[in-house]
Amino acid sequence: MTIDRSRFDHGMTYDAYKAQMTRNRERLEENEKRVDLGKEDLAAFRGLPRPVKVLVLAEDWCGDVIANLPVLGRLARESGKLDVRVFLRDQNDDIMQRYLNKGQFKSIPVFVFFDEDFRELGHWIERPASVTEIRAKRRNQIFAAHPEFGSPDAPVDVLPEEVRVRLQGELAKMRDETTKFANAEVIRELREIATRVAA
Amino acid sequence: MSSAHRVKITYCAECGYEPQTLDLAKALMLEFGARLSSIELIPWEGGTFEVSVDGQLIHSMNRDGGFPEAAAVKDAVRARLSGSSR
């Protein structure tokens, strides 16, 4: 299976993707507003010598899509250099099979960068490893600071409801506090791939 | 005398696991009726899908991968029910 212009053009634009979402659109657009694009990053994307095509695999129920696709959406809109086309993962398994996470998981979002001749520049899956790492560390710290939350590896259903609600609040706060770092890491990794495009 | 048996299904609400949660809850309701004292659905996060019966974890997406087969969950519940009625 190869991606060519004809297949790529069948994908949805970012706005068309948003329009067909059946859930989480509000969260996605809220995240879009929160993306902080630095001048230097924006200049790097605006300065790409040629436009770059970005194929996206997504589904509207996935938390990593809701968090990270808006970063790409903002970069595309504000740089004018990224042509984004979104494909639904579950309707495009042939593409998904080509970009499995660790060769086995159907993790999304997937962003595949191509030059204008559809030569692949690189691809990006799910979220930066640095984000997974910092959130796991912060999660462990939360559990260490609150013995009432039990073990980080234990099922949450053993916790009394009131404790569970507090744990949920702590985790949401942690995610919120790490969002700025997460977005910056996504931008850094996408920039590294996009700038491989030759003049 | 039989004791109360509780099933808890913890599912990732962010991920949209509601259909699988409801399918499993319905299968258990139809199979066991009032022999279960409760089926609790717990919206959670982080890709979770866990099923416990009387506090014993019988399926974890993290540990076991994927969603459980309804038949396997029914077998685990049946084992608890028959254990308590002996």
Q: Which amino acid is at B20?
A: Q
Chain B: give the shortest CA distance to residue A188, in Å: 24
Mutate to test the interface with B, among A101, A138, A157, A165 (most CBs of B within 10 A): A157
CATH number at residue B51: 3.40.30.10
Report the distance separating Cα A127 and Cα A101, nearest Å: 11
Which residues of chain A have a CB within 8 Å of the CB of B57? 155
For A161, the token pair is: 């409801």
Q: So what's the ipTM on this one?
A: 0.72
User: Is the pLDDT confidence value at A28 over 50?
Assistant: yes
Within a domain: B61: yes
User: Is the pLDDT confidence value at A115 over 80?
Assistant: yes
| The CATH homologous superfamily of the domain defined by A5-127+189-194 | Glutaredoxin (3.40.30.10)
Contact B48 A156 (CB under 8 A): yes
Q: Could you tell me the residue ranges of all domains in chain A?
A: 5-127+189-194, 130-173
pLDDT in tens, chain B (86 residues): 457 899 999 999 877 789 999 999 999 999 999 999 999 999 998 889 999 999 899 999 888 888 899 999 999 999 988 876 44
Contact A156 B10 (CB under 8 A): yes
Within a domain: B13: yes
Q: How many domains does chain B have?
A: 1
Within a domain: B17: yes
State whether residue A23 sits within 8 Å of chain B by CB: yes
pLDDT of residue A1: 67
User: Is the pLDDT confidence value at A111 over 90?
Assistant: yes
| Shortest CA distance from B63: residue in chain A | A153
Burial per residue of A74-110, b for 16 or more beta-carbon CB atoms within 10 angstroms, e otherwise:
bbbeebebbbbbbbbbeebeebbeebeeeeeeebbbb
pLDDT of residue A13: 98
pLDDT (tens digit, 9 = 90+) per residue, A174-185?
999 999 999 999
Size of interface A-B (CB pairs under 8 A): 37
pTM: 0.84
Contact A63 B15 (CB under 8 A): yes
pLDDT of residue B86: 44
Within a domain: B57: yes
Helices and strands in chain A, H and E counts: 8, 4
Within a domain: B10: yes
- What count of other Cβ atoms lies within 10 Å of the Cβ of residue A179? 16
Within a domain: B1: no
The domain in which residue B32 lies consists of 6-85
For A186-199, what is the mean pLDDT?
A: 94
Chain A: give the shortest CA distance to residue B15, in Å: 5
| Shortest CA distance from B59: residue in chain A | A155
pLDDT of residue B1: 43
CA nearest B23: which of B37, B9, B35?
Answer: B9
